[in-house]
């Protein structure tokens, strides 16, 4: 089960939701995990959860200095870097495009997209040395769109395009680049998004129904696939935007 034994993985947004589930799964698979979160309290709480050697880093993924420092701290602590998991994301505000302000648009793209530029810029020499991996947490909405959420969906479309383009650029170096595309996963972010809708309770009911497999999952379902994608078992996979969606994108359905 130690499919990530001694691999050093830097994950952003590791202090809640999907990222925290991934950090736990990576530790369970034998990895040494460095994780970035926004505030000291959640970094400490997640560190206590992980237990084994880990590095908790407080920082904002949209700030170049914070990312440079996070990569430096990871190398200083563990001596190498085998994978970067770009997971931190922002989904608010949920509104149609014409109501989205330039500031809101800018913040969504800074956190969800520019952060990948920054982690790649500072992590690249280390990943080149280890023939490592980059994994992005995208979203199914980057492929199929989403009502009332255009700017967020656009950031995830950009993540999908980046995943494929980076995979081509870095394949010759042995660096694999993939993404996972969840549909809905019950996390603080999803709860916040639901509360921003006109009828939150109806939205919570709807979230149970959108996955043909029959339930709204928690982060563990995404973490298991991420663990696979970062392991040697996925050694011939690159440039893949992989739905982990319970079939949410499939065909015509009758909701009855
Ligand atoms: N929850 C879902 O239904 C869902 C579906 C599809 C995709 N996603 C994507 O999965 C990823 C994780 O989502 P989640 O639902 O677990 O979110 P969450 O809000 O529950 O957790 C987000 C994490 O990211 C961190 N974070 C947020 N902004 C940051 C910043 N600027 N700098 C550093 N850290 C920051 C937070 O501290 C937290 O650890 C996001 O990229 C999101 O877009 C989520």
What number of other Cβ atoms are within 10 A of residue 65's Cβ? 10
Cα end-to-end distance, the chain, whole Å: 41
Is ligand 1 within 6 A of the CB of residue 184?
yes
Ligand 1: distance of its center to the CA of 19 in Å? 7
**Residue 35, strand partner residues:** 11, 56
Is ligand 1 within 6 A of the CB of residue 246?
no
**Sign of the Cα pseudo-torsion (237, 241, 245, 251, in order):** negative
Flag the least confident range among 61-65, 69-73, 213-217, 223-227: 213-217
pLDDT at 253: 79
Q: So what's the architecture of 8-184+219-244 in CATH?
A: 3-Layer(aba) Sandwich (3.40)
Q: Where are the chain's structural domains? A: 8-184+219-244
Q: Mean pLDDT across the stretch 249-253?
A: 88
**Sign of the Cα pseudo-torsion (230, 237, 246, 161, in order):** positive
pLDDT tens digits along 186-216? 999 999 989 988 899 998 888 888 999 999 9
pLDDT at 197: 87
pLDDT at 255: 63
Is the peptide bond prior to 93 cis by the omega test (within 30 degrees of 0)?
Answer: yes
Q: Are 60 and 38 in contact (CB under 8 A)?
A: yes
Of 10, 11, 19, best ligand 1 pocket probe by most atoms within 8 Å of the beta carbon: 19
Confidence of residue 46 (pLDDT cuts 50, 70, 90): very high
Is ligand 1 within 6 A of the CB of residue 38?
yes
How high does pLDDT run on average in the chain? 96
Is residue 67 scored above 90 in pLDDT?
A: yes
Ligand 1: distance of its center to the CA of 86 in Å? 10
Is pTM, for the whole model, over 0.95? yes
Is ligand 1 within 6 A of the CB of residue 137?
yes
Q: Are 159 and 179 in contact (CB under 8 A)?
A: yes
């Amino acid at each position: 089960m130690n499919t990530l034994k001694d691999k050093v993985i830097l994950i952003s947004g590791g202090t809640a939701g999907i990222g925290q589930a991934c950090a736990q799964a990576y530790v369970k698979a034998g990895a040494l995990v460095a994780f970035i979160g926004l505030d000291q309290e959640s970094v400490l709480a997640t560190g206590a959860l992980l237990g084994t050697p880990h590095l908790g880093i407080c920082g904002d993924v949209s700030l170049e200095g914070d990312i440079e420092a996070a990569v430096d701290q990871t190398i200083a602590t563990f001596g190498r870097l085998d994978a970067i998991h770009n997971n931190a994301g922002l989904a608010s505000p949920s509104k149609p495009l014409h109501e989205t302000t330039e500031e809101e648009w800018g913040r969504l793209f800074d956190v969800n997209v520019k952060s990948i530029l920054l982690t790649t810029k500072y992590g690249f020499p280390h990943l080149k040395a280890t023939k490592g991996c980059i994994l992005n947490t995208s979203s199914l909405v980057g492929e199929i769109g989403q009502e009332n959420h255009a700017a967020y969906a656009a950031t995830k479309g950009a993540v999908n395009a980046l995943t494929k383009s980076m995979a081509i650029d870095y394949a010759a170096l042995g660096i694999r680049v993939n993404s996972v595309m969840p549909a809905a996963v019950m996390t603080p972010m999803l709860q916040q998004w639901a509360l921003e809708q006109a009828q939150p309770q109806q939205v919570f009911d709807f979230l149970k129904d959108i996955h043909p497999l029959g339930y709204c999952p928690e982060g563990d379902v995404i973490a298991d696939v991420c663990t696979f994608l970062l392991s040697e078992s996925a050694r011939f996979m690159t440039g893949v935007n992989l739905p982990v969606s319970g079939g949410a994108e499939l065909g015509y359905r009758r909701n009855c």
